[in-house]
Amino acid sequence: MKNIDKYSRGYFMPLTQCLKWTEKEYITEAPTWCSVDLRDGNQALIIPMSLEEKLEYFQLLLQVGFKEIEVGFPAASETEFAFLRTLIEENLIPDDVTIQVLTQSREHIIKKTFEALQGAKKAVVHLYNSTSVAQREQVFGKSKEEITEIAVTGAKMLKKFAAETEGNFQFQYSPESFTGTEVEFALEVCNKVLDIWQPTTDNKVIINLPATVSMSMPHVYASQIEFMSDNLNFRENVIISLHPHNDRGTGVADAELGMLAGAQRVEGTLFGNGERTGNVDIVTLALNMFSHGIDPKLNFENIPYIISKYEKLTRMRVHERHPYGGELVFTAFSGSHQDAIAKGMKWREEKDPQYWSVPYLLIDPMDIGREYEGDIIRINSQSGKGGIGYILQQKYGIELPVEMRESFGYKVKSVSDHNHKELMPNEIYDIFIKEYLNINTPVELIGHKYTQNGHYETIVKIRVNNEVHEFTGEGNGRFDAISNALQTKLGIEFKDVVYKQHALEIGSASNAMSYVGITANNGTVYWGCGIDTDIMTSSVKALFSAVNNMVTSLQLPVEISFNHSKK
């Protein structure tokens, strides 16, 4: 690409100073989660939520289990102010939930913020100002000392207004654009703020270190977090919080490595909604922990419901490939994937192992409200015999013999390829019915009966070309007698008969399903299926279906030779 020389890696600290986080293998417990959907997420919407929509979204966040929720920037608009007052005055905030509000380091904004917070049972007041090189030079035209003074002045004003306002308040400070700030300078500013607030065990302060713009690889961000964690004043009374954005597509990795490096709290949104490429996605972060056996302390057991609410209220869409939530994330179209999943599911059913380990499925979709049927295996022209067989078995109780799956798979894929579409389970079932089940042309079975005299004899009645005929056959068993009769009397030849059967458990427990494969002289195997309340009758119907498929496919003449007279 052109213009490579326009970009640099920026200022980053020497990594060798802070690498203790690399010695940790897993995140061992969930952080404190803070949803910023109603502030950071809302301000990024094309159409911000109305008061009523924000109230509905707030209830959704409570249902998910958030204990800290940033409800807005109350000094920014009347809607934001009214929303906060409604939450407080109508007692809509549970006692175990802390709300959070954002304010710039400007006196009239801080004053308006505390007016909105009057009477709050528990609230975090989040103060911020930009500290990055780019913001200092290009936006504010201020020195480091002047930027530091903005933070210090804001910290003092928060203490003043908090003392004058009814409520219970905790303070939070963010050096905005932390990732574009020299880390030593970010530390200096944060420590000056902490010196003013004097956090204690009973009144801890939150220092939020945002990747306002994600500017580095995740390991650099983690080392920056570790440096801050090692050097902040009052560290035992400071909660380090992360607020990663996703400009480089690494928001989740930034947060995970940042937690390894000492962060105790994460701010983010459902499905990553936020400015530009969005905030870190808390759904993905939480379910990543879940996949490692760590309780995320949030409830995502009904992802479809959460998505429906999210899409309705934000007017945004969860992409089909979005981790965990997307419509297709548990879906396999590839034949080899489908086969592995189907076998893995069967193995799990038989072995009942303690831990989930199905191929290609990170977690059990059922754990987050997804269904096996229609979610895991879906069929198109790329699908394989295993997946197609799995659909029939799960949906309709039809357990195709392994030898038959390839034949049926080609028929299904041919339909999908010709129509350029995905096939639904009912369409797959319809193809099965049409191609294999109880096929009665050109030779229709009307009836049959047996006698046994050392060996089996059968009398078979058929209809060909609208004429009914009756003839006999002999064999070592009833099925063999029918097979011999068809070959002898119809003048056709086949060999290597494959015969399987099972009770049809879905739909009707009284029915039996039989599968018959016959090999023509050219080596091609033709399949037929039969269903009946009598297992023997179902097998005979399957044989006739296979014979009819062979006769039709090979365009064989049906040359009838009878010992019995035409009826």
The residue ranking higher by pLDDT, 504 or 408, is: 408
Give the per-residue pLDDT at 563. Answer: 45
Residue with tokens 């039969």: 530
Q: Are 281 and 272 in contact (CB under 8 A)?
A: yes
CA dist 29 and 20 (Å) reads 18
Q: Which of 64, 68, 126, 59 is nearest to 87 (CA)?
A: 59
3-state secondary structure of 405: helix
Percent of the chain at pLDDT > 90 equals: 66
Q: Are 338 and 377 in contact (CB under 8 A)?
A: yes
- Cα→Cα distances 4→8, 9, 217, Å: 9, 12, 18
Hey, what amino acid is at 43? Q
Q: Which two tokens stand for residue 484?
A: 């011999």
Give the per-residue pLDDT at 202. Answer: 95
User: Can you say whether residue 253 is alpha, beta or left, with left for phi > 0 and alpha for psi between -120 and 50 degrees?
Assistant: alpha
- Cα→Cα distances 121→72, 94, 99, 199, Å: 17, 9, 9, 19
3-state secondary structure of 411: helix
CA dist 120 and 242 (Å) reads 25
What pLDDT, in 10s, does the model give residues 330-362? 887 777 887 888 889 889 999 999 999 999 999
CA dist 448 and 459 (Å) reads 5
The answer on pLDDT for 559 being more than 70 is: no
Q: What is the mean pLDDT of the chain?
A: 90
**8-state DSSP, 75:** T
What pLDDT, in 10s, does the model give residues 214-230? 999 999 999 999 999 99
Query: Checking DSSP bridges between strand 512-519 and strand 525-532, what pairing results, if any?
Result: antiparallel
Phi, psi of 464 (to 5 degrees): -135, 130
What pLDDT, in 10s, does the model give residues 360-399? 999 999 999 998 766 676 666 566 667 778 778 888 889 9
Give the per-residue pLDDT at 564. Answer: 40
Question: Of how many residues is the chain composed?
Answer: 567
Q: What is the mean pLDDT of residues 474-489?
A: 84
What pLDDT, in 10s, does the model give residues 511-541? 889 999 999 999 999 999 999 988 889 999 9
CA dist 300 and 302 (Å) reads 5
What pLDDT, in 10s, does the model give residues 275-334? 999 999 999 999 999 999 999 999 999 999 999 999 999 999 999 999 999 998 988 777
Q: Which of 170, 177, 230 is nearest to 203 (CA)?
A: 170
My answer on whether omega of the bond before 442 falls inside 30° of 0, hence cis, is: yes
**Binning pLDDT at 50, 70 and 90, where does residue 567 land?**
very low
Q: Which of 11, 6, 277, 231 is nearest to 137 (CA)?
A: 11
3-state secondary structure of 538: helix
What pLDDT, in 10s, does the model give residues 164-220? 999 999 999 999 999 999 999 999 999 999 999 999 999 999 999 999 999 999 999
Q: Are 487 and 546 in contact (CB under 8 A)?
A: no
Percent of the chain at pLDDT > 70 equals: 93
Hey, what amino acid is at 108? H
List CB contacts of 279: < 8 A, sequence separation 6 or more.
Answer: 36, 40, 41, 243, 244, 245, 246, 251, 267, 268, 269, 272, 273
Per domain, the residue ranges of the chain are 29-314, 336-436, 443-554
Q: Are 196 and 155 in contact (CB under 8 A)?
A: yes
Give the per-residue pLDDT at 505. Answer: 66
CA dist 87 and 92 (Å) reads 5
Query: Does this model's pTM top 0.85?
Result: no
- Cα→Cα distances 545→435, 490, 497, 516, Å: 9, 14, 13, 8
Q: Give yes or no on whether 29-314 and 443-554 have one common fold.
A: no
Q: Which two tokens stand for residue 354?
A: 């303690």
The residue ranking higher by pLDDT, 466 or 164, is: 164
Q: Are 225 and 183 in contact (CB under 8 A)?
A: no
Give the per-residue pLDDT at 545. Answer: 94
Give the per-residue pLDDT at 385. Answer: 65
The listed CATH number (3.40.50.620, 2.60.120.10, 3.40.50.2300, 3.20.20.70) that belongs to domain 29-314? 3.20.20.70
Yes or no: is domain 443-554 CATH 3.40.1160.10? Answer: no
Q: What is the mean pLDDT of residues 254-272?
A: 98
Q: What is the mean pLDDT of residues 260-268?
A: 98
Give the per-residue pLDDT at 177. Answer: 94
Q: Are 387 and 406 in contact (CB under 8 A)?
A: no
Q: Give the count of beta carbons closer than 10 Å to the beta carbon of residue 453.
A: 7
